[in-house]
Structure 1
Amino acid sequence: MTDAFPLPSASPAELGLDPAKLDLLCARIEADIAAGHHPGAQVALARHGKLGFFRSFGAARHGVPANDATLWLLYSNTKVITAAGLWALAEEGRLRLSDTIAQYLPGFEAGGKGGITFVQLLTHQAGFPSAEVPAAAWEDAALLREVVCGFQLEWEPGSSVRYHPASAHWVAAAVIRAVTGEDHRAYLRRRIIAPLGLEGELFVGVPPEVQPRTVDMHDVDGSVRMPEGTAAHRAAGIPGGGGYGTARAMAAFYQALLNGGAVAGRRILSPRMLGYAIRNYTGDRPDEYNGMPMHRGLGPHLRGETAGIRGLGDIAHPGTFGHGGVGSSYCWADPASGVSFAFLSNTRQAEEFHGARMNTLSDLAHAAIIS
């Protein structure tokens, strides 16, 4: 872990956050742990480039208390980090997000995929939501390229919005290697994570010496999930769901996205690139996987003005953007207030519980913003 966290600390009151609402947020987390919904959790809020709240709860692994250095499986929160890698390539002129993927990954055009653009890929309109990458390809770049180029379409690209749990971001990883010559894990660390000063607390691919800090991810029945509980899975850096981090690292990452691509004097992207990436590309079209409009940007989704939204909180400002991790977590940023939020836990709960839990926690965080 790095010696100094890049965000300076301030009290909630100094940042215009109501401590009483944060107490209620913590009480809900503690009650869920006491009820057996998950062994442990971590939460953080930041505002205007300062860390205002950071707390760990319960156990990281059996008999191991969670602490500030604990690394939590981010699941699909990883997607926004991977997307930021593509944003950076676009900003550097190495690709255009309106271009087709096949222009940068020859062979991807097979099976009718030649017209799929990065915009369609990142907004879950690519047409291959069920495609899978075998574990054998996690460390085999040639096999990964072969597998993603062989993905079969399930419907015409652009005709539907349907969440791609893993497949789209494996394509992004293959593109990153094709364009840069680097493994996506090394590239994301060099280009996105390390420049923010988060290299000790945010990982897409956890090295062996750091893995003792990671949580065990549990199923609803309390058993350790597999393959998430293996060293190979932690090291793989699955680009759509295998990152690890602390809540304060994710709050800091989202502070950079709020602040035009820079935080604490560290810049990774330009304001104009972020303005292009974090906008609603799918309108109020329902996401067929989630059963509601998700207002997809090129990585995160946005609150929008529909009656409800997954994870970001009903009372969120319409411009609030973020992403969740299946059954376990959510991270978001509110451009109206400058607040970023991260909640991470170590059980993959059913959506019926997770959606309601996250709506409550996110709404408490929004309600804490009083000035």
Structure 2
Amino acid sequence: MTDHLTLFQHTKSFAGQDPVRLAVAAAVDAFATASIEISDLIGRGALAGITGAAHGGENADGDVQKDLDVRADQIIRHALQSVPFAALASEEAETHEDGDASAPISIAYDPLDGSSNIETNMTVGTIFSIMPHQAGETPFTGPGTAQIAAGFIVYGPQTSMVLTLGEGVDIFTLDRAERSYKLIRRQVRIPADTAEYAINASNYRHWEQPVRDFVDECMAGEDGPRSKNFNMRWIASLVAEAYRILIRGGVFLYPADARKGYGEGRLRLLYEAHPMAMIVEQAGGAATTGRERILDLSPNAIHQRVPLIMGSINKVRRIENLHLDPAAATKANPLFARRGLFRV
């Protein structure tokens, strides 16, 4: 793999001598450095004292912290010590941390997305968003369109970083022998259409009607209004779902629903939905709440929750249409389809 461009070469070329870009490059490099250590910890699991068990506390948003949540946050904070940031926001902290007020960027991150999967040896990851900062402004109040860069690291069979610097999406995989990330996919594009969708179907009874309508259309398959068979996926790890969409297309839905605590969605706007939306749009896809473009939203709190629907643009637009124009629903019911239980 010696002929592959390294992440460090990529960020160095991007930065040039521009102060803002230099800070962005330093932040990306720091996340890469931290992720190698986190990947090692995950790979060793219980042998490194990582069990996936509850740490004994809750994060700022009320979720039970796992032991690796805390370790990952500590590792990332240490790696970012030399990066010039004005403010730092982590899922694991109640409020943001102030840095150098004159620094050109602010950074928000989720140190370990999908940590509930650790005990079952499934994919988890790290997500980050880098925003510009102007002296005197309140950090983390701008829309997602203001992001300079966004990325996520997937700790799976391979450890890979998905990165956008506002000029498309590239994927780098960790070369464990050399302990550096190397480019494996350049300018990734998400297919406009898809035969896959990802949603936790056990919550069907709690969804709004537009979400039910979309899933009903997919479930009807080739006998339904879409005249096409679909496959349903659900990993319960945002980074894993996003990576799959980037590689082979698809649409991911984590909608708001009627359960207590889910009325405004469940994913965090600042350090989950915003960076994922930037990545997906940079790859030719779309990201929405169902009614609003994710990147047009501005946080009113660093842990604000939001619905997230993202992926192949044609399916995302169909789901938006169902939300904004309920009359557009076909009301298809797979039970009574041409090849259903009740044939004529």
Query: What TM-score does the superposition give when structure 2 sets the normalisation length?
Result: 0.30
The structure in which a higher percent of residues are strand is 2
Query: What TM-score does the superposition give when structure 1 sets the normalisation length?
Result: 0.28
Higher RCO, Cα 8 Å, sep 6+: 1
Rg: which structure is higher?
2
